[in-house]
Amino acid sequence: MKAEIIAVGTELLLGQIVNTNAQFLSKELAAIGVDVYFQTVVGDNANRMKQAIETARSRADIVIFSGGIGPTQDDITKDVLAELLGLNLLMDQRSLDQIEKMFTKRGTVMTENNKRQATIIEGASPLLNETGLALGNAISHEGTHFIILPGPPKELKPMFTNQVLPWLYQHVLAGEMPIYSKMLKFAGIGESMLEDKLKDLITSQTDPTIAPYASEGEVTVRISTKAQSEREAMVKLNELELLIQQRLPEHMYASHDIPIEHVIVEMMADREQTLAAAESCTGGLLMALLTSIPGSGTMLRGGFVCYSNEMKEKLLNVPHHYLEGEDAPGAVSPEVAKVLAEQAQMITDSDYGLSITGVAGPGYSERKEVGLVYIGIAERDKETEVHELKLSGNRETIRIRSAKTILYRLWRRLVENEKLH
């Protein structure tokens, strides 16, 4: 079963708003096993809208419109579709009564143009609007199923969930198998390296399917299958997940869609462990990531931003001769990363102390190149680990990759420590 989404609205073509409706509808359709091969955006223009409808009906079974059914003159979606199908546009009396009642309640007068929102194409099922005034329409015509929804997401979403889904299952999808998915999450590995490691699986596998995609510092792999029941699907998905996990045990940190900082906050909260950080070039970004997760308050005891050498000395007791002098290793050095991590741990009396010191650019410092970063992980009564990173990208990229890399290293260490117990 194939669907196509046509979002209507000049405001989309001018870039004034982003097309979140297409995302919502695509995700919902994927979840019930309906393939979306095209999304289109067209303005409030009858000729171009007809073009888009003709193209869509030639290649899809279901055509879903969002937008263009409000009260103003440029809201013409229903008019255009009715004309194209050679059907009349009627007035839905129940919907009209509802609109009139709403205006009476507000104590305002209903203007004539508001009646346009109650129109229905001859033979269509009305889709009631729980959170607005414009009536949706659903109609099957010569083998194509057309669904017209309002543009505002807060009207479109409940209408889709509460009215369109039942209509689809009754009229279109009777007997179809639904799709189930799982999202596997990886860190410490790039998208292309990950794909390389899973290459044979990705090419040979047809059910479940495997699809990797990357975001900053993380890679997600979606595995999906069609099945009669959730139970049947989970057997297949869990089997494949295990296979993938065995290939990349040091990188797969979750089997649902959460960032690595979320996993760390959960792990540490479970064990009642605490953490502190001292950040130089990331300037608070690492701690901002951790504290974006609800519940981080109990594990992140506190931390330091120590941009200047003076603050590294004053707040974190870095020896002066590490920072200045002819033979000093300098602020961007493994020595300083080590002291920062250990001091962050000790001063706050936390279980772990993290540190980041590096050159985020633009422009080098201490004659060290942009992208050179040292990260440190200290642990109470244990050896401190320090890693050298050579990162590429601009200032923002280097900062986020530094933070994501230390989170990855910390996760590895927490997993290792778990094994020891």
| CB closer to its own copies out of 315 and 415 | 315
Q: How far is the CB of 415 from its own copies (least distance, A)?
A: 22
- Is the bond preceding residue 71 a cis peptide, omega within 30 degrees? no
- DSSP state letter for 298: G
Shortest Å distance, C-beta 106 to its own copies: 6
Cβ 171 to its own copies shortest distance, Å = 22
Asked whether the beta carbons of 44 and 68 are under 8 A apart, the reply is yes
Paired strand residues for 127? 136
- CA-nearest of 279, 304, 294 to 357 is 279
Is residue 393 within a helix (H) or strand (E), and if so which, with residue range?
A: none
Q: How far is the CB of 333 from its own copies (least distance, A)?
A: 17
Give the E-state strand segments of 43-142 in sequence order.
Answer: 62-66, 89-91, 119-121, 125-127, 136-141
Q: Which residues pair with 368 in a beta bridge?
A: 365
| The two three-digit tokens of residue 6, written as one number | 């046509």
**47 vs 175, beta carbon nearer its own copies:** 47
CB of 154 to its own copies, least distance (A): 7
Shortest distance, CB of residue 312 to its own copies, whole angstroms?
8
Of 94 and 154, CB closest to its own copies: 154
Positive or negative torsion for Cα 331, 336, 339, 340: positive
| Closer Cβ to its own copies, 19 or 417, answer by number | 19
- Collapsing DSSP to helix, strand or coil, 252 comes out as strand
DSSP type of residue 103:
H
The residue whose two tokens read 């543009």 is 151
Q: Which is nearer to its own copies, 111 or 246 (CB)?
A: 111
User: Alpha carbon 34 to chain centroid distance?
Assistant: 21
When the beta carbons of 139 and 404 are compared against its own copies, the nearer one is: 404
Nearer to its own copies (CB atom), residue 16 or residue 228? 16
Rounded to an integer, what is the distance from CA 301 to the centroid of its chain?
Answer: 28
Q: How far is the CB of 420 from its own copies (least distance, A)?
A: 27
- Report the residue number, 314 or 320, with the smaller CB distance to its own copies: 314
Q: Is 317 left (phi over 0), alpha (psi -120 to 50) or beta?
A: left
- 180 burial type by CB count under 10 A (0-12 exposed, 13-18 middle, 19+ buried): buried
Least Cβ distance, residue 349 to its own copies (angstroms): 9
